[in-house]
Amino acid sequence: MFPPNIILTGFMGTGKSSVGRLIATSTGRAFVDSDQLIVERADRSIADIFEVEGELHFRRMESDFAREYSGRRGLVIATGGRLMLDPLNALLLGKDAIVVCLTAAPEDILARLAGDDERRPLLETPDPASRIRRLLEERSAGYGQYPQVDTSGKSVQEVAAEITALVDEAVASGRRSTTLTSRISVSHPGGQYTVFVGRGLLPEVGLDPELPGPAALVTDNTVGPLYQNCLRSVDLRATVTIAAGEKHKSLDSIRVIYDHLLAAGIDRQGAIVSLGGGVIGDMAGFAAASFMRGIAFLPCPTTVLAMVDASVGGKTGVDLPQGKNLVGAFKQPAAVVADLNTLKTLPGAEFAAGMAEVVKHGLISGEHLLARIESGSWSERRLRPDDNLQTLIVEAILVKRDVVQDDPFEAGRRRILNLGHTFAHAIERVSNYGVPHGRAVAVGLVAAAALSAELGHCPRELPQRISDLLVNLTLPVTIPTGLSPDALLAAMQSDKKMAAGKLNFVLLRNVGDVFVTDDVPAPAVELILDQLTA
Ligand SMILES: NC(=O)c1ccc[n+]([C@@H]2O[C@H](COP(=O)([O-])OP(=O)(O)OC[C@H]3O[C@@H](n4cnc5c(N)ncnc54)[C@H](O)[C@@H]3O)[C@@H](O)[C@H]2O)c1
Ligand SMILES: [Zn+2]
């Protein structure tokens, strides 16, 4: 067995490279410096990469580095200042590694940087000292997840010795990694929250300061008995158990939640913790948004769908007899805790349903996520601990995160998340909600791709590729028997997403390239509906 990799992270000017080189020599590991490697490969300086290709391109090179080196052992890796703050990079490089963050006082950083002649694009400003302080502030949560070694006033040898001692201690204690929990930061107009993704997280809910005071738990009668006892660190004053199922996502249930909150004496300083799938999360979030004009909300999603979709983005609500999700509010959570261990008991059909939304996120984001889905037998991964499942969920959440951050109130771009959903909603409605959402989305994704190909927007092979992938995930790819194309078309035409009498679709130009259009002739839609009716 190789010794674990040692990863050094931290702000520029904290000495990652010189310290790393020394530790590599003294512990017999090979040394790699991500910045240096990127510079060599690009054959230009980082400042030039920023200037010519842009920062985004540099971040992509960093992600490629993380992917490439995630499988290698026996290394000391000095990483660029932001590399390990990206949750996916952290997950890839951090497994079986000891990650240490070097810190220094802002004045020391400035003095050290003044001594070298490399250009630092992030500091090209009239007042670099305040820029350093601001960047340190911004990154404090990210760096804070790693053990810290202060380098101010210490020699390279002293810092290296301190880190080596820390590593020895971690190895002796059998601690495998410091980064197995992924932290995804989501910004919204009112601030920021973190989505935690990992295993065994439920017992830790309540230990961090996200919950301001006593809380009520909202769960359903399937999930509650399985996992509510894990929430032992939360100051729980009440538990509200709602019967499982979409038909209970109603105003009646909201009223039951209010009754329990009042009886337990929850006031404006209180909070709601939810434990369950999207149904529970949507309801609990709406109750939290409205009770006493809003109390804190911390969802613990327990389905794939709720982890990658429902619990990120702030939409909450309930159904009315007249239709789904007709009443609701935007409510940003205080934090989201996705404990992957809960997925072990999730029925296979529910797991697959959530994977339909993961495929949707793959089609929106690009080849990388889609190829990852294609390469896995995900249902097995649900049952045994496997970093790949975590990586998949993290990647899928990042897609939703990026879209909702751009468009928090669904004014425009966020509509691309409705890929496949115009068809899916029609299938759900015409089947009288007999076809579950995820299964309807699977058919909808194939339909959206087929329609895109029919209209000449995307390659002819794409619908087949998507269909193969969904079949592998045990999802349907044709319209269930008994649903007539005419009824489906009529349902689409009365969908609330129809703007000014025109059918609104999200179509594909290719994987990673989706767009919203109302320029879709009805005959083309009918043709696709006929084709997909078995
Ligand atoms: N707010 C949003 O942005 C958003 C986005 C997408 C979907 N949604 C909503 O999410 C809902 C669907 O969510 P869902 O698919 O999670 O359904 P769900 O909450 O009904 O859960 C599915 C079933 O699995 C059970 N279950 C959940 N977790 C389990 C576990 N770990 N082990 C065993 N059983 C478990 C539940 O009891 C339920 O019977 C819909 O109401 C939809 O409108 C909301
Ligand atoms: Zn959906």
**Predicted local distance difference test score (pLDDT) of residue 207:** 80
Dump pLDDT digits (tens) for 121-156: 777 888 888 899 999 988 887 887 788 899 998 999
Q: Which ligand is nearest to the CA of 315?
A: 1
Dump pLDDT digits (tens) for 42-79: 999 999 999 999 999 999 999 999 999 988 989 999 99
CA 142 to CA 210: how far, in whole Å? 16
Proportion of the chain above pLDDT 70, given as a percent: 96
Q: What is the dihedral of CA 247, 250, 254, 257, to 10 degrees?
A: -10
391 pocket-lining for ligand 1 (C-beta < 6 Å): no
The phi, psi pair for 115, rounded to 5°, reads: -80, -15
> For residue 484, how many other CB atoms are within 10 A of its CB?
12
Dump pLDDT digits (tens) for 179-231: 467 888 899 999 999 999 988 899 889 887 788 889 999 999 999 999 999 99
Q: Which helix (H) or strand (E) covers residue 201, if one does? A: none
Dump pLDDT digits (tens) for 319-341: 999 888 999 999 999 999 999 99
pTM comes to: 0.80
Atom 13 of ligand 1, nearest CA residue: 278
309 pocket-lining for ligand 1 (C-beta < 6 Å): yes
Atom 33 of ligand 1, nearest CA residue: 346
Q: Is 368 a catalytic site residue?
A: no
Please say whether the beta carbons of 532 and 526 come within 8 A: no
Q: Which helix (H) or strand (E) covers residue 457, if one does? A: none
> Which of 222, 246, 247 has most ligand 1 atoms within 8 Å of CB, for mutation?
222
**Predicted local distance difference test score (pLDDT) of residue 175:** 55
Please say whether the beta carbons of 257 and 209 come within 8 A: no
How high does pLDDT run on average in the chain?
Answer: 91
**Predicted local distance difference test score (pLDDT) of residue 1:** 42
Cα 64 to ligand 1 centroid, rounded to whole Å: 34
Name the residue type at position 419: L
Q: DSSP letter at 460?
A: T
Dump pLDDT digits (tens) for 510-521: 999 999 998 899
Q: Which ligand is nearest to the CA of 307?
A: 1
Dump pLDDT digits (tens) for 235-290: 999 999 999 999 999 999 999 999 999 999 999 999 999 999 999 999 999 999 99
Q: Is 293 a catalytic site residue?
A: yes
> At 6, is the secondary structure helix, strand, or coil?
strand
**Predicted local distance difference test score (pLDDT) of residue 331:** 97
User: What are the C-alpha distances in Å from 478 to residues 28, 147, 335, 356, 470?
Assistant: 58, 51, 38, 14, 11
Is the pLDDT assigned to residue 305 strictly greater than 90?
yes
List, in order, residues 6 or more apart from 341 with CB less than 8 Å away: 199, 200, 202, 385
Tokens standing for residue 176: 């495998």
Atom 19 of ligand 1, nearest CA residue: 277
Is the pLDDT assigned to residue 501 strictly greater than 70?
no
Find, among 476, 404, 410, the residue nearest to 446 by Cα. 476
> At 233, is the secondary structure helix, strand, or coil?
coil
338 pocket-lining for ligand 1 (C-beta < 6 Å): no
Q: Are strands 505-510 and 513-517 parallel, antiparallel or unpaired?
A: antiparallel
Is the pLDDT assigned to residue 497 strictly greater than 70?
no
**Predicted local distance difference test score (pLDDT) of residue 499:** 54
- Cα-Cα end-to-end distance for the chain: 54
